Structure 1
Amino acid sequence: MTEKRPIWTRSFINISISTFFLFAVFYALLTFTPIYVLDGLDGTAAEGGFTASIFLVSAIIIRFFAGLILEKYGKKRILVFSVLMFALSTVLYIFIDSLTMLLLLRFFHGIWFGLVTTVAGAIAADIVPPERRGEGLGYYGIAMNLAVVAGPFLALTLQPYLSYSMIFTVFGVIMVIGFFCALFVRVDEQPVVKQEKRKLTFSDFLEKRSLPIASVGFFISFAYASIITFISVYAQSLGLIKTASFFFVVYAFAMLVVRPFTGRIFDSMGPNIVIIPSCIVFGVGLISLSFTESSWMLLLSGALVGLGYGTLLPSFQTLAIQAADKHRSGYATGTFFALYDSGIAIGSVSLGVFAGLLGYSNLYLVLGIFVLCIVFYYRWVMTKHRTAA
């Protein structure tokens, strides 16, 4: 029996910590920027929401070019440079004094977020032993999931006590630490060879073999957009706003409990035995939200969403990377997150319209049924993929 190669190497630990800090700052800014627009810049709620949209737009755009950039300049070089630029962009918030400047900075900041998350995900996949990729990327995904709780908690905790410039300074310091962690990530890659000029093709922007599973991720993230966008508003309408602050805490705890097991099961028994039950649990969690009337039901829904959705993201990312050749892991990661971010962006806007027509309760019911139907689409995608292979 061959000995298992380790996952928790120094490089894997450093890329995970750097990713955690990056996503913590991302979610902290996502929570804090609308508050800054309303109170610091005398803007409107719509303008505050636009700061999130414009950030995601630039992140999605750069993902289509990320694979080409990584191939041309190398993963380690792009990792260090993009983390540095993300950190510098974070520091620049200190000097913002108008809405126009803020929107321009958010667009600029999103470029580096899209690039760094693509290259970090590709490097994490390369560092992890191929036979333990499901388990390894599951652990790596914990960094992103914990940041969902840590980022907003930090922003909302600091907000009553510190000035806006001091809070942005704290975010900048966190990213400086993330930058130093990125410096110590070791990447085994071939030296970058200068290529002759040629006509760009579809494969220079997206990994064709990763598109089918990325499309499943798009629909899942579309449904998940209802959680990150409307859960606090929904809880407030139910008179449960105090409980809402613990929703993502329960979500993160439930995800942490199952993550060590689901990754190993993914590697040893295949993706279906993990993804199909997780889809069902996520769907049931959304349906449970639609019937929520008390605090315990809201927290139970948070646990179900954490058990389901928290497992789906790293599982789909693993499948997207496994579908491509090793040297195209950057293209595969960029393709997956381009569709994933698009689902979040489109869902955040369009579901707001549906919420106005249906009400939040009915919206979550419809989305729960929608996620259960995704199981059949996933089965079709996997069957077609195996047949083609």
Structure 2
Amino acid sequence: MAEAAFFVAAFAALVDIAPPDRLGEALSLNSLGLYLGLAAGPPLGEVLTQRSFPTAWMTAAVLCLAATAASAFIGETGTPTTTNTKLIHRPAIAPSIALCTSLAAAGGFLAFAALRAQEEGLENTSLPLFLYGATVVVSRAAFAKIPDRLPPLRLGAIALAVIAAGLVLTATPHTLIAGSVVLGLGVTFSTPAFFAAVFATAEPHQRGAASGTASAFIDIGLGGGPILLGLVANASIPAALATGGALAAAGCLWTLKLHRAH
């Protein structure tokens, strides 16, 4: 519940303070913290669990407290409204479905990358995850302005196509490392593109509901993707990753349909 509340409030606040013509850039830069965590978290976790699992959990708790302290220094970005707003922002559902497919596919990679690395004989099984996270961090910093130069749904469709290609590479023998980087490039643009599309459907007083609607689909994707692909993983890990690629490809087709409708 705490994570859900923080996520919704943080994205709504970001849209409040970002200039409209730089929203994509703001969304890209804002997500760097998330992917810095994804890049640094697994290696840090491996080091800490060598001491003990309680040490790892206590360190995570301390990091959460540090984030709480940092948030206390941020002022309010808007004033509460008395306008009645529906809990679910319906216009945000369609682009959120596309966002869900990208995260379900990427979530499958996050779940099975270490196992796939073990199959490929890599000594450092967290290397694919590190390269994935590092690619997203570097690319979002380097290409932060691109989401403002392309229509969000078109960019989202391109991102999903790249995600699909990356997952196919991770499922192919001897191309796990290359696939991790390609996947990271796709994810670089997917989240900023689809959140820009979501917020384009919302008035200022609807931003909280739009953010909440999109974030629900994020959790469905990140939670449901590994479960769905886990069923396929009973056959083989490469089959699960390839299925994730097919899911991203389906999301690409859905996004192209939305783009043409607009």
Q: Does the TM-score normalized on the shorter chain lie above 0.5? A: yes
- State the Cα distance separating 1:204 from its structure 2 match: 2.4
* 1:174 to 1:231, Cα distance in 2 relative to 1, 3 A: same
Give the letter for the 1:317 counterpart. F
Q: Is 1:371 paired with 2:248? A: yes
Q: Distance in 2 between matches of 1:276 and 1:218?
A: 13
Aligned residue identity for 2:67: G
Paired residue type of 2:116: Y
Distance across 2 between alignment mates of 1:167 and 1:379: 43
Q: What's 2:106 paired with?
A: 224
C-alpha contact (below 8 Å) 2:153/2:258 kept by paired residues:
no
Cα 1:159/1:375, change in 2 over 3 Å = same
Of structures 1 and 2, the larger Rg is shown by 1
> Is 1:328 aligned with 2:206?
yes
**Structure with greater contact order relative to length (CA < 8 Å, sep ≥ 6):** 2
Kindly report which structure 2 residues correspond to 1:84-163, keeping only aligned pairs within 5 A, or say none.
111-161=1-51, 163=52
Q: How many residues align?
A: 262
**DSSP-derived class of the 2:240 partner:** helix
Structure 2 distance, partners of 1:159, 1:373, is 38
Which stretches of structure 1, 4 residues or more, deviate above 6 A after TM superposition? none
Q: Is contact 1:266–1:273 with CA below 8 Å preserved after alignment?
A: no
| Structure 2, gaps ≥5 residues long | none
Give the alignment's TM-score, normalised by structure 2.
0.91
Which of 71, 76, 101 aligns to 1:182? It is: 71
Q: Distance in 1 between matches of 2:253 and 2:231?
A: 27
Query: In the superposition, relative to structure 1, how do residues 360 and 136 fare at CA in structure 2: closer, same or farther (>3 Å)?
Result: same
Q: Give the Cα–Cα distance (whole angstroms) in 2 for the partners of residues 132 and 207 of structure 1.
A: 23
Q: Partner letter of residue 19 of structure 2?
A: P
Q: Is the 8 A contact 1:262 1:274 kept in 2?
A: no
Tell me, which stretches of 5 or more residues in structure 1 are unaligned? 1-110
Matches of 1:176 and 1:337, distance apart in 2: 23
Kindly report the root-mean-square deviation, in angstroms, between the aligned alpha carbons of the 2 structures. 2.1
CA contact (8 A) 2:147 2:189 kept: no
When normalised by structure 1's length, the TM-score is: 0.63
Which residue of structure 2 lines up, in the alignment, with residue 75 of structure 1?
A: none
Q: Aligned to 1:360, which of 224, 237, 257?
A: 237
Picking from 236, 259, 262, the partner of 2:118 is 236
When residues 378 and 252 of structure 1 are mapped into structure 2, their CA distance, relative to the original with a 3 A threshold, is same
- The residue aligned with 2:221 is 343
CA distance in 1, matches of 2:97, 2:137: 26
Please state whether the residue corresponding to 1:269 is helix, strand or coil. Answer: coil
Q: Distance in 1 between matches of 2:87 and 2:208?
A: 10
Is residue 382 from structure 1 mapped to residue 259 from structure 2 by the alignment? yes
CA displacement 1:188-213 (0-9 Å, x = unmatched)? 322465x8xx9xxxx62211111110
> How many Å separate the matches in 2 of 1:372 and 1:191?
40
The 2-side partners of 1:125 and 1:177 are apart by 24
How far apart in 2 are the matches of 1:153 and 1:364?
22
| Partner in structure 2 of residue 270 of structure 1 | 151
The aligned counterpart of 1:318 is: 196
